[in-house]
Amino acid sequence: MTELKNDRYLRALYKQPVDCTPVWMMRQAGRYLPEYRELRAQAGDFLSLCKNAELACEVTMQPLRRFDLDAAILFSDILTIPDTMGLGLYFETGEGPKFSHPITSKADVDKIGIPDPEGELQYVMNAVRTIRRELKGEVPLIGFSGSPWTLATYMVEGGTSKAFTKIKKMMYAEPQTLHALLDKLADSVVSYLNAQIKAGAQSVMVFDTWGGVLTPRDYHDFSLQYMQKIVDGLIREHDGRRVPVTLFTKNAGMWLERIAATGCDGVGLDWTINMADAKARIGDKVALQGNMDPSMLYASPERIRQEVSTILDGFGEGTGHVFNLGHGIHLDVPPDNAGVFIDAVHELSKPYHG
Ligand code: CP3
């Protein structure tokens, strides 16, 4: 078993005692950091950063040099899987990701194969191996993937969407086509995450950014069911340690019990639910990750500390909480405010432990 100097993040997910509450931030590496913008300009674009293990490693390390973070997250993107499936991923400035060949029919789905993680996606595994070497056991490394539903929204809509009319049309008019796509994506995610674990990811997280746009029944059938397949297929122990899996569906406060029942170790929470309510509902089953509104990082240091204290108080005493934002950090947040946030979590959480 590889020694870790700081294993608070894993301990909180295992619900073992910690000295203070661990914290990391979704999108902690990225555009709010000037050193990221500089490296991206040198590399040319975002995908070139992802596809070069040395650069992806450097970007992963950037926030760790500035802040006292308790985990590193692989620098990559959820759209690496559909990119490899031949959909032609590109990024247009200010418009987010786009696909030049979106999925429109059963014939398109039939053409898709399950990517080989040590083949077409080897650049991701190389990044994981490079980052683990560079981390030197300081903090654990989180690997990640998108959920099948969230990946499918981008693949069918051809990019970011507001109303999701194309994928919902497929869901209601041609459900078998969508199920065939989701099933292939679930198999792809299992093999991708297991390869990340073998390459050195010590925990994994599944981002279901768009599950919350579904009806309760469709959430089960088209999103959760496939995340269940992932949880069931993952390597849960590696290098002598349990590999915790965290599921995060944005806007899913109403479905927490169902998410916790998948057998995952952690459930990610956005800011639309009170920490105390979430803990009362599922805190006996799983660890909780979250859940400060990322927009709070625009506020004064006093206000940020006050909000951290409110959320810590909502969770109350003991382990089982990984502090985080309720979604990714905004790109125009002053980096110093992120530092205030992270230090506040460590300092203000001590009285809740031991
Ligand atoms: O958290 C981290 O620091 C790790 C890196 C990471 C990125 N994307 C880097 C990135 C992670 C975990 C993701 C996940 C991701 N990607 C999700 C799920 C989480 C979420 O935010 O809901 C989604 C939906 C995507 C798809 C995606 N990639 C979008 C919608 C965008 C555009 C976002 C925007 O604000 O323009 C991306 C690009 C992207 N992924 C960037 C980064 C740092 C910005 C690229 C750039 O311009 O430099």
- Chain Cα centroid distance, residue 179: 23
Mutate to test the pocket of ligand 1, among 23, 27, 249 (most ligand atoms within 8 A of CB): 27
Interval between CA 77 and ligand 1 midpoint (Å): 6
What per-residue confidence (pLDDT) applies to 95?
A: 84
Distance 150 CA to ligand 1 centre (A): 13
d(CA 261, CA 284) in angstroms, rounded, equals: 11
Compute the distance from residue 194 Cα to the ligand 1 centre, in Å: 21
- The pTM is what? 0.98
What's the rounded Cα separation, in Å, for the pair 172 and 218? 10
- Is residue 1 included in any domain, yes or no? no
| Coil, strand or helix at 1 | coil
* Cβ of 62 less than 6 Å from ligand 1: no
Q: Which atom of ligand 1 is nearest to the CA of 209?
A: 22
The finding on whether 46 has its CB within 6 A of some atom of ligand 1 is: yes
- The 8-class DSSP code of residue 207 comes to E
With respect to residue 302, please indicate whether it lies within any of the assigned structural domains: yes
The CATH code of the domain that includes 318 is 3.20.20.210
Distance of CA 161 to the CA centre of its chain: 19
What kind and span of H or E run contains 92? strand 89-92
For residues 191-216, one letter each, b for 16 or more C-beta atoms within 10 angstroms of the residue's C-beta and e for the rest, the string is bbbbbbbbbbbbbbbbbbbbbbbbee
Structural domain contains residue 3: no
Query: Is 305 considered catalytic here?
Result: no
**Do 49 and 57 touch, CB atoms closer than 8 A?**
no
DSSP code of residue 329 = P
Q: Is the CB of 80 under 6 A from ligand 1?
A: no
- Cα three-residue angle 66-14-191, rounded to 5 degrees: 80
Helices marked H in the chain: 8-14, 34-43, 46-50, 53-66, 80-82, 106-111, 122-135, 148-157, 165-173, 175-199, 216-218, 225-233, 256-260, 275-282, 301-315, 335-349
Residue to probe by mutation, ligand 1, list 26, 78, 149, most atoms within 8 Å of CB = 78
β-pair type (266-268, 245-249): parallel
pLDDT at 1: 87
Active site residue 154: yes
Q: Is residue 120 part of a domain?
A: yes
Q: Is residue 34 part of a domain?
A: yes
Look at residue 337 and tell me if it is in a domain. Answer: yes
Q: How far is the CA of 78 from the centre of ligand 1 (A)?
A: 7
**Tokens 């429109």 belong to which residue?**
104
Catalytic residue from among 9, 154, 219, 226: 154
Query: Is residue 310 in some structural domain?
Result: yes
Residue 258 is a catalytic residue: no
Distance of alpha carbon 274 from the chain centroid: 20
Give 201 Cα–ligand 1 centroid separation in angstroms. Answer: 19
Query: Is the Cβ atom of 99 under 6 angstroms away from ligand 1?
Result: no
Residue 2 belongs to a domain: no
DSSP reduced 3-state for 158: coil
What residue numbers bound the domain in which 24 lies?
8-353
Contact 294 CB / ligand 1 (< 6 Å)? no
Number of domains making up the chain: 1
Instruction: Give me the average pLDDT of each 10-residue run along the chain (354 residues).
Output: 95 98 98 98 95 98 98 98 96 89 98 97 98 98 98 97 97 98 98 98 98 98 98 98 98 98 98 98 98 98 98 98 98 98 98 94
Active site residue 40: yes
At 51 the pLDDT is 97
